[in-house]
Structure 1
């Protein structure tokens, strides 16, 4: 047997704030939705085919469902349910809060759509997500 030393193994430990992870998760889901909406478009930008309500509902449900899985909101409701042992009260409170925040998002989105073009909103969202991504990468590199 030779006396060759074993290679040194270095472990990189990353500490991420749950809020940072949630922001990046939201960015990934939003960007995936934007790409899936853009990819199949064969019509010109001025001539869009009508989109069925069912398709919009399904797209919205899947996007929000995936974004909320493992999110801090879900963890909070899990912990509150375990602490207070009143799951239906927690469900009603969390559901009402999610409906309220969704209404705010829909109203703000509707308001923005009357003032800005979809292209401007897409570019602004892309720039915002790029800045958030750069900020998260900078945080990780600084560890």
Structure 2
């Protein structure tokens, strides 16, 4: 169960102020329909993070546990640094094609914008760390939903009121702690 809760917590903190949350705010402001937007986010995240978790677990099986520990630890430290860089909404990311409703616009745009995003990279690292595709995918999806639900409900008001610098620092600290612990475990296991 640690993999579920750690994945949800880390990704929730990392998602605050992320470009996908900004996309959610834009979609909420445009469509003003909670259920189809949340369903689109849920399905897009399950698909995207399910693939990412599978990749992370597969990579963990291909390389040895010692090398994996160093790669995952370094990845978490890189994520800590990345979290300190503010995201901006991609231009046109919230635009939908004519005739697309809020569900399809959210599903497609959220899936595409999440590709290569820090929460997707974190999902890969978390699955490699915990070796549990299902619980990591559920955890990261839960984290995304926890952060995006208020964004859908509150729209632009939330984006203007949250202390983004403090939130980015908290996300960076979470990843730094995970990276440090992973590297420390790797160093402790080295023959000396």
Q: TM-score, normalised by structure 1?
A: 0.48
Q: TM-score, normalised by structure 2?
A: 0.37
Structure showing greater radius of gyration is 1
- Structure number having the greater helix percentage: 2
